[in-house]
């Protein structure tokens, strides 16, 4: 019910990624059939893809643990892409099914160090105490990257006049206790940081029974909302962007500011290569000014229409200072990153025509296949057409950087 798909096991080629869609959390499995205990690893299964099971010593039974069980052997999906390594000497909260215990990279089990607040919340729920919300505030560092925790972030839950709050510790962990069952909006704040709304407004992963349709469906929370159930614990990690920004002005060849143009900031990967998609984008105002924010610290290439293989602007690609990186400190502002672009290009539409036919049936007369004998026709907004190909024809002349693309007679 909660676990839609455990894993796609890859035993032939471990290089393929493990695929899993698991909507469960350590809190949501409480009260069910899962076997849960705290254990120390006394014999592990190895590095990389592993070579077998692990052996653990149980130090605290939590739920459904057979009476008198002191040690257990746990399968780890070794030699598959779903391998879960449990390291020797570490303490874990193991969440599994019996009687043959196993864990995987999709499993809810977790290392206890750094996650003590989650175990405390689980114990709190089993005692039947008031609901508790726990999680970690992480620093957003890329489109899909979250780094370590952020300290001293205020987390507040609001429902009408009711307010509950907590502050993250040095590792970014927060706990809000003594809640009433209700639906709350979540607000986080810290000077120098901006909430990562895209991450914070993601689906909670919670499923519920639709009694009218008699089926299990995702719970559709409104953006920024969370539903706290009675006598429960909930886990909700949140994220914030460092409030760094890059600012400047965009001008044309005549020196005049240009409005309404996207200016992009591209990060660099661990190899020092520019990333293919911009991390953030700013839009120029009526005076040509732009601000790209929020941005984490790092090096950035700043430009207009600079995304490879994606020509989205009337202006040709242009980058700041011939591609020299802009260095941005944590929560800092870098000004005067000014850019210039050439004259805007004329939009055209392309059409493939098969010579001697009204339509473009393609190879061997079959529609949908490319034809090596087709001509490319470019139609400008003013109605003038240019063509290329074996029938090599155009009306007027289309030039790119002073070089004629085609010269000839009119296409029929």
Q: What was the pLDDT predicted at 348? A: 64
- Closest by CA to 398, choosing from 316, 389, 388, is 388
Q: What was the pLDDT predicted at 213? A: 75
Q: What was the pLDDT predicted at 208? A: 66
Residue 197: enclosing H or E segment and its boundaries? helix 197-200
Dist CA 66 CA 225 (whole Å): 39
Q: What was the pLDDT predicted at 403? A: 40
Dist CA 85 CA 105 (whole Å): 8
Residues of the chain with CATH 2.60.40.1120: 114-242, 246-340
Residues of the chain with CATH 2.40.50: 1-112
Q: Is the dihedral of CA 285, 289, 294, 300 positive or negative?
A: positive
Q: Could you tell me the fold of the domain covering 246-340?
A: Immunoglobulin-like (2.60.40)
Q: Burial, 276: exposed, middle or buried (Cβ in 10 Å; 0-12, 13-18, 19+)? A: exposed
Residue 124: enclosing H or E segment and its boundaries? helix 116-126
The CATH classification number of 1-112 equals 2.40.50
User: pLDDT tens string for the chain (412 positions)?
Assistant: 334 333 333 333 444 567 776 678 999 999 999 999 999 999 998 888 888 899 999 999 999 999 999 999 999 999 888 999 999 999 999 999 988 999 998 899 999 999 999 999 999 999 999 999 999 999 999 988 899 999 999 999 999 999 999 999 999 999 999 999 999 999 999 999 999 998 998 876 666 677 777 777 766 667 789 999 999 999 999 999 999 999 999 999 999 999 999 999 999 998 999 999 999 999 999 999 999 999 999 999 999 999 988 888 899 999 999 999 999 999 999 999 999 999 998 766 665 555 554 444 444 444 444 445 555 555 555 555 555 544 333 334 444 444 444 333 333 3
Backbone angles phi, psi at 36, to 5 degrees: -130, 130
Chain center to CA of 281: 16
- Which pair of structure tokens corresponds to residue 5? 């798909």
Q: What was the pLDDT predicted at 400? A: 43
Q: Going by CATH, does the domain composed of 114-242 fall within 2.60.40.1120?
A: yes
Q: What was the pLDDT predicted at 349? A: 64
């Amino acid at each position: 019910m909660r676990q839609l798909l455990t894993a796609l096991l890859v035993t032939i080629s471990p290089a393929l990624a493990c695929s899993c869609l698991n909507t469960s959390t350590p809190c949501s499995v409480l009260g069910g059939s899962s076997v849960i205990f705290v254990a120390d690893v006394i014999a592990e299964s190895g590095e990389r893809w592993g070579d077998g099971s692990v052996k653990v010593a149980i130090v605290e039974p939590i739920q459904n643990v057979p009476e008198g069980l002191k040690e257990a052997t746990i399968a780890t999906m070794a030699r598959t892409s779903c391998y879960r390594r449990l390291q020797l000497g570490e303490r874990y909260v193991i969440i599994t099914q019996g009687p043959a215990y196993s864990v995987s990279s999709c499993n809810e089990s977790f290392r206890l160090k750094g996650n003590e607040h989650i175990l405390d919340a689980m114990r709190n729920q089993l005692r039947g105490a008031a609901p508790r919300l726990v999680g970690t505030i992480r620093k957003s560092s890329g489109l899909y990257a979250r780094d370590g925790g952020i300290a001293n972030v205020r987390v507040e839950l609001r429902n009408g006049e009711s307010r509950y709050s907590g502050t993250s510790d040095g590792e970014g962990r927060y706990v809000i206790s003594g809640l009433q069952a209700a639906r709350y909006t979540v607000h986080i704040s810290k000077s120098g940081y901006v909430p990562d709304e895209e991450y914070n407004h993601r689906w909670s992963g919670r499923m519920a029974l639709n009694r009218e349709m008699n089926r299990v469906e995702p719970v559709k929370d409104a953006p920024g909302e969370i539903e706290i159930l009675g006598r429960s614990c909930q886990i909700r990690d949140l994220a914030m962007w460092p409030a760094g920004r890059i600012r400047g002005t965009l001008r044309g060849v005549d020196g005049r500011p240009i409005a309404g143009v996207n200016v992009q900031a591209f990060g660099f990967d661990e190899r020092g290569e520019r990333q293919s998609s911009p991390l953030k984008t700013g839009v120029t105002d009526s005076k040509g000014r732009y601000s790209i924010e929020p941005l984490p610290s790092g090096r950035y290439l700043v430009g207009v229409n600079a995304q490879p293989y994606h020509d989205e602007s009337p202006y040709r690609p242009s980058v700041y200072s011939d591609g020299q990186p802009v260095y941005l400190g944590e929560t800092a502002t870098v000004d005067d990153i000014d850019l210039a672009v050439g004259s805007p290009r004329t939009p055209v539409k392309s059409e493939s025509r098969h010579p001697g036919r009204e339509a473009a049936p393609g190879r061997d007369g079959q529609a949908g296949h490319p034809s090596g004998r087709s001509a490319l026709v470019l139609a400008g907004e003013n109605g003038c057409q240019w063509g290329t190909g074996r029938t090599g024809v155009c009306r007027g002349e289309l030039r790119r950087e002073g070089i004629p693309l085609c010269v000839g007679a009119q296409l029929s």
